[in-house]
């Protein structure tokens, strides 16, 4: 195994550690920047208020502009975040409950945001276009809620965090995420078996048809197996997928009952666009990357070079350092405030917001990312997670393993 | 009763406690766990990766 793995040119180095008071001061000051986790979900409410006050329904689209225009611009302007906490700072920060309380508050604001936007679109006279803007905005915030759910959902042995994860994931009816992600995606990441790892040559529109049903099936199967070991039915209320699903059903039913049929398209679009944000994240996080098998037939352990990393400052503050994805997959239980950047890992040219835009335009995505994957694998397409439907064509066009040997 | 530690996240499988949420009750022997038993905290290490703790 060792020789095979080491032949990859991108074996990751340990995280570089920033020294000096300036770096530490910035890391410590992030404790206030993380307030963005509950400020961001309030943006649709603020834009809804402006829409009501001015009578211009176009304000209901404002959150869409935040994600796809303002955040990419902020990433471009503020660049990358050079500060990595040293071991002493990691020890100091990782157990501080303050960072968890921010997540609890974010859970509350996410529900307030969804219900508030549902109220705004249903109780005032808007054009269908404005309602669509409100629904997509709510969907974007549901996607941000999945990031909070992801963070808390990894803390499986902290009952309060696990409960809040279920609550916030219920905003978009994606309660199976914790099981699917922790026990499924993290185990199978960067392998052909993982429905949540995208393959070289696979467009996001093809990926989503594999990802959404595959993720749900895997979650249900894992939960059924756990309940069987406990001697319980998969339809019992101990089923954590059903627990979260029940919260969604009750909340959506109440909104439908009180605020009428407009809730049907609104909630479907808001939930669906939330799911789409997750699809976008899954698509960009491991595109084409492949873990190799050792002599025993087991995949090598997931290492930092099996994730696309992005160290952009602005989007990392919004997304709880999720984009320091190499560290996250190498150490999944590490809390967001102490995730670190790695040197020599595959890196995205921008933060997620702009990468999502590229992902939605497959030709643009391929032109930016395919050369990066080929470089990562040293031209050996046997070391790439390739879409099997396009394997022959991809190998004919890109497979040049000799180049690696010459370079070495 | 033996104890085994996950080399990534430090979770300790204590046979006396088992891993109840995952359906392995107190007293569940290490050797009876399946080979693909994942660490019930980080889920990225499996039974063959765990380290036996002395005493």
Quick check: is A119 in a domain?
yes
Residues A404, A301: Cα–Cα separation, whole Å: 23
Total domains, chain A = 1
Start-to-end C-alpha separation, chain A = 19
Residues of A in contact with B45 (CB under 8 A): 301
Q: Is the pLDDT assigned to residue A408 strictly greater than 60? A: no
Q: Does the beta-carbon distance from A301 to B44 stay under 8 Å?
A: yes
Nearest to residue A48, comparing CAs of A129, A133, A111, A127? A133
B5-31 burial, b at 16+ Cβ within 10 Å, e below that, comes to: bbebbebebbbeebbeebbbeeebebe
A390 lies in a domain? no
**Which residues are within 8 A (CB) of B47 and not within 5 positions of it... i.e. 6 or more apart?**
B30, B33, B34, B35, B36, B37
Question: Model confidence at A4, in pLDDT bands (50, 70, 90)?
Answer: very low
Residue A148: the pLDDT is 97
Residues A212-233: tens digit of each pLDDT: 999 999 999 999 999 999 999 9
Tokens describing residue A247: 């919260």
What domains lie within chain B, and their CATH numbers? Answer: 3-37+48-53 (2.20.28.10)
A285, pLDDT greater than 70 = yes
Contacts of B8 in chain A (CB under 8 A): 331
Closest CA to A269 of A355, A142, A112, A124: A142
| ipTM confidence score | 0.95
Residue A322 DSSP code? T
Q: Give A 174-213 residues with CB within 8 A of chain B.
A: 182-183, 186-187
Q: How far apart are CA A362 and CA A245, in angstroms?
A: 33
What pLDDT, on the 0 to 100 scale, is given for residue A17? 67
**pTM score, two decimals?**
0.93
Give the span between the Cα atoms of A243 and A237, in whole angstroms: 6
With b for 16 or more beta-carbon neighbours within 10 A and e for fewer, the A188-212 pattern comes to bbbbeebbbbbbbbbbbebbbebbb
**Measured between alpha carbons, how far is A322 from A21 in angstroms, rounded to an integer?**
25
| Residue A38, both tokens | 């509950």
Residue A48 lies in a domain: yes
pLDDT value, residue A182 = 97
Q: Is residue A232 part of a domain?
A: yes
Mean pLDDT of all residues in chain A? 93
Supply the range of the domain harboring residue A143: 11-356
The pLDDT of residue A286 = 97
- The CA distance from A188 to the nearest CA of chain B, in Å, is 9
pLDDT tens digit sequence for A179-213: 999 999 999 999 999 999 999 999 999 999 999 99
Task: With respect to residue A381, please indicate whether it lies within any of the assigned structural domains.
Answer: no
Query: How far apart are alpha carbons A43 and A50 in whole angstroms?
Result: 11
Contacts of A332 in chain B (CB under 8 A): 9, 42-44
A96 touches chain B (CB under 8 A): no
Residue A25 within any structural domain of the chain? yes
pLDDT-derived band at A298, boundaries 50, 70, 90:
confident
Residue A333 lies inside a defined structural domain of this protein: yes
**Predicted local confidence at residue A204, as pLDDT:** 98
Comparing CB atoms, the residue among A186, A228, A229 nearest residue B43 is A186
Per-residue model confidence as pLDDT tens digits over A313-363: 999 999 999 999 999 999 999 999 999 999 889 999 999 999 999 999 999
pLDDT in tens, A53-98: 999 999 999 999 999 999 999 999 999 998 999 888 999 999 999 9
**The pair of three-digit structure tokens given for residue B36, joined into one six-digit string:** 């693909």
- A397, A408 contact by CB (below 8 A): no
Q: Which of residues 14-53 of B touch A (CB under 8 A)?
A: 21-24, 38, 40-45, 49
Q: A18-22, A219-223, A234-238, B48-52 — which is least confidently predicted? A: A18-22
B44: chain A residues, CB-CB within 8 Å: 186-187, 301-302, 329, 332
Rounded CA gap, A284 and A352, in Å?
8
Whether A335 is in a domain gets the answer yes
Q: For an interface test with B, which of A180, A181, A228, A229 has the most B Cβ atoms less than 10 Å from its Cβ?
A: A229
Count of alpha carbons within 13 Å of A118, Cβ hemisphere only? Answer: 29
Q: How confident is the model at residue A15 (pLDDT cuts 50, 70, 90)?
A: confident
Q: What are phi and psi of A339, to 5 degrees?
A: -65, 145
| A201 contacts A189 by C-beta, under 8 angstroms | no
Q: How far is CA A303 from CA A156, A189, A327, A345, A346, in A?
A: 22, 10, 8, 10, 11
């Amino acid at each position: 195994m060792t020789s095979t793995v080491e032949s990859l040119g991108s074996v990751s180095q340990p995280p570089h550690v920033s020294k000096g008071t300036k770096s530490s001061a910035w890391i410590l000051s992030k404790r206030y920047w993380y307030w963005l986790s509950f400020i961001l979900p309030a943006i649709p409410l603020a834009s809804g208020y402006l829409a009501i006050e001015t009578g211009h329904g176009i304000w209901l689209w404002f959150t869409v502009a935040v994600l796809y225009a303002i955040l990419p611009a902020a990433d471009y302007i503020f660049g990358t975040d050079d500060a990595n906490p040293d071991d002493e700072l990691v020890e100091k920060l990782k157990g501080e409950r303050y960072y968890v309380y921010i997540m609890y508050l974010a859970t509350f604001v996410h529900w307030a945001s969804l219900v508030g936007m549902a109220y705004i679109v249903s109780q005032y006279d808007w054009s269908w276009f404005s309602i669509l803007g409100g629904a997509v905005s709510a969907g974007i915030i549901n996607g941000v809620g999945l990031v909070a759910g992801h963070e808390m959902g990894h803390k499986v042995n902290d009952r309060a965090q696990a409960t809040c994860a279920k609550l916030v994931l219920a905003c978009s009816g994606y309660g199976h995420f914790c099981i699917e992600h922790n026990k499924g995606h993290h185990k199978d990441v960067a392998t052909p078996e993982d429905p949540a790892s995208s393959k070289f040559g696979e467009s996001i529109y093809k990926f989503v048809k594999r990802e959404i049903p595959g993720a749900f099936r895997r979650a249900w199967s894992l939960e059924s197996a756990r309940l069987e070991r406990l001697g319980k039915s998969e339809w019992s209320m101990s089923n954590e997928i059903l627990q979260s699903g029940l919260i969604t059903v009750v909340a959506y039913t109440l909104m439908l009952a009180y605020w009428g049929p407009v809730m049907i398209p609104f909630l479907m679009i808001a939930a669906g666009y939330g799911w789409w944000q997750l699809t976008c994240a899954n698509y960009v996080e491991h595109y084409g990357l492949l873990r190799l098998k050792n002599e025993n037939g087991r995949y090598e352990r997931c290492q930092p070079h099996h994730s696309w990393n992005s160290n952009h400052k602005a989007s990392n503050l919004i997304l709880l350092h999720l984009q320091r994805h190499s560290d996250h997959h190498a150490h999944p239980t590490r809390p967001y405030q102490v995730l670190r950047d790695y040197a020599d890992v595959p890196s995205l040219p921008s933060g997620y917001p702009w990468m999502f835009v590229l992902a939605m335009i497959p030709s643009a995505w391929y032109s930016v990312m395919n050369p990066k994957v080929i470089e990562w694998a040293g031209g050996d397409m046997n070391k790439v997670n390739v879409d099997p439907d396009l394997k022959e064509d991809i190998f004919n066009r890109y497979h040049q393993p000799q180049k690696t040997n010459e370079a070495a | 009763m033996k104890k085994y530690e996950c080399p990534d996240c430090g979770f300790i499988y204590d046979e006396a406690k088992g891993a109840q949420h995952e359906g392995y009750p107190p007293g569940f022997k290490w050797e009876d766990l399946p080979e693909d038993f994942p660490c019930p905290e980080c889920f990225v290490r499996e039974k063959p990766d765990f380290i036996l703790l002395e005493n």
